[in-house]
Amino acid sequence: MITIAIPARMKATRLPNKPLLDIVGRPLIAHVIDCARRFDGAQIVVATDDLRIAEVAEREGVMAVLTRSDHATGSDRLAEVADRLEWTDDQIVVNLQGDEPLMPLSCLHAVVAALKEDSGAAAATLAMRIDSIAEALDPNAVKVVSDAQSRALYFSRAPIPWPRDAWRESQRVLPDGALRRHLGLYAYRAGTLRRFAALPPAPLESIESLEQLRLLHHGLKIAVRDTPEAIPPGVDTPEDLARVRAHFVGEQKQQVDHRWLFMCLGNICRSPLAAAYARKCAAEQGLRVHVESAGTLSSHAGERADGGARELAAIEGVDVSQHRARQVKIEDFERFDRILAMDDRNMADLSKLCPPEHRHKLQLLLDYAPHIGRRTVPDPYGQPLSGFQRSYELIVAGVDGLVMATLK
């Protein structure tokens, strides 16, 4: 069994009483519990030193363990829980921070898989690329660098690695993929938690105020994997709280009649363009449609749309600026009522993944454009702009047909 442990305390300096702050009628910690519930079969435990948080957890139907109030880190708190609940040393524990109400299920699965894959690692965590100078220089965005075995070399609040040549005169250009942001999501075995709590704090841990540096200082390995999809920042500041509240308010208001998922191979060329054009068309026609895109592969997860796709989108007046690639998830087959593939390979891959009861949702996009005399949208990856233009013309024909069929 996997245990998802949620450490939570009331002593945050920037947001006092943070776990109990209201978000659309429920406390923040309740939304974090909702994230944990999506992991089928997991035991959920809230670890806290505050009776009010424990009462919320119990109202939500999950176990709460009241711990000592003198723990310096969340991992120290979970080590006490491991002893109190008598977890065996090989019990896998996911540390889901109590201020992460938007954590995707795919990331919980990914961090568990990373720990299982690396038998020499004491813990596992996730990272995603940094795409802005502001984030690179933000001390609240913790950076991580890894070795050839995808294990952490160091974590820092400073920009690491430092792009010496690119930043020789000005920190205005961010080398593509040079920096990665660490996400505060960990998986470890209960024995590692006990060992962590028994080790003295490391000097670098105290300087950076990063508990994971204790493991590195004492020679323990941390596996680092890229996130399977983009993750919004947690709730650390009043601005974060406002953003998360707006997200949940938007979810409540979003009453849709249709849900479309556009699929291609890597989710950086065809499917983000199709999704962007579909959103534009649906809005113009007054259709209430929720639109997303995904890829059958994970090789580009977390990346922006391809440069050719971004250039073409700017020319055509569709928006892919916020797109981050992700791999299709098993729950997508239930969430969406139409899953639209660009080519036969996508269809074959989707058919293998899709539960039988949802296979009727799988279609080729160009099934909605029979007049053009072809079935598939070619992949323009690595081609000049003209290749993207040819694919986009076919995407437009397919999406136009889809919209017209939906309006009938």
Same domain, 226 and 311: no
How much of the chain is in helix, strand and coil states, percent to nearest 5?
A: 40, 20, 40
Same domain, 235 and 276: no
Same domain, 23 and 130: yes
**What CATH number did the domain enclosing 333 receive?**
3.40.50.2300
**What CATH number did the domain enclosing 158 receive?**
3.90.550.10
Say if 99 falls within a structural domain.
yes
pLDDT at 164: 85
pLDDT at 349: 96
Same domain, 172 and 260: no
Say if 142 falls within a structural domain.
yes
Say if 289 falls within a structural domain.
yes
Say if 20 falls within a structural domain.
yes
Tally of helices (H runs) and strands (E runs) in the chain:
14, 15
Same domain, 359 and 384: yes
Residue spans of alpha helices (H) in 317-361: 332-335, 344-353
pLDDT at 329: 85
Say if 160 falls within a structural domain.
yes
pTM of the model: 0.65
Same domain, 82 and 153: yes
Q: What is the pLDDT of residues 43-68, one digit of tens each?
A: 999 999 999 999 999 888 889 999 99
pLDDT at 384: 95
pLDDT at 301: 80
Same domain, 238 and 259: no
Q: Domain boundary at 219, 242, 265, which?
A: 242
Phi and psi, residue 189, nearest 5°: -90, 155
Query: For residue 358, how many other CB atoms are within 10 A of its CB?
Result: 18
Same domain, 354 and 380: yes
pLDDT at 252: 59
Q: CA 159, CA 206: separation in Å to the nearest integer?
A: 18
Low-confidence ranges of the chain (pLDDT < 70): 251-255
Q: Domain boundary at 242, 265, 284, which?
A: 242
Catalytic choice (9, 77, 180, 270): 270
Report long-range pairs for 254-258 (Cβ below 8 Å, ≥24 apart). Answer: 254/290, 255/288, 256/288, 256/289, 256/290, 257/287, 257/288, 257/289, 258/287, 258/288, 258/289, 258/290, 258/337, 258/338, 258/406
Catalytic choice (77, 131, 240, 264): 264
Say if 247 falls within a structural domain.
no
Same domain, 186 and 259: no
**Token output for 144:** 């991580």
Q: Is 270 a catalytic residue?
A: yes
Q: Is 90 a catalytic residue?
A: no
Bridge partners for 361 per DSSP: none
pLDDT at 255: 66
Say if 250 falls within a structural domain.
no
Domain count of the fold of the chain: 2
Same domain, 389 and 274: yes
315 to each of 116, 200, 318, 388, 390, how far by Cα in Å? 45, 57, 8, 11, 14
pLDDT at 90: 94
pLDDT at 372: 92
Say if 190 falls within a structural domain.
yes
Q: Which stretches of 139-191 are assigned E, i.e. beta strand?
A: 143-146, 152-156, 180-189
CB-based contact 299:266 (threshold 8 Å): yes
Q: Is 379 a catalytic residue?
A: yes
Q: Domain boundary at 242, 275, 293, which?
A: 242
Q: In which domain, by residue range, is 266 found?
A: 255-407
pLDDT at 253: 57
Side chain identity at residue 264, one-letter code: C
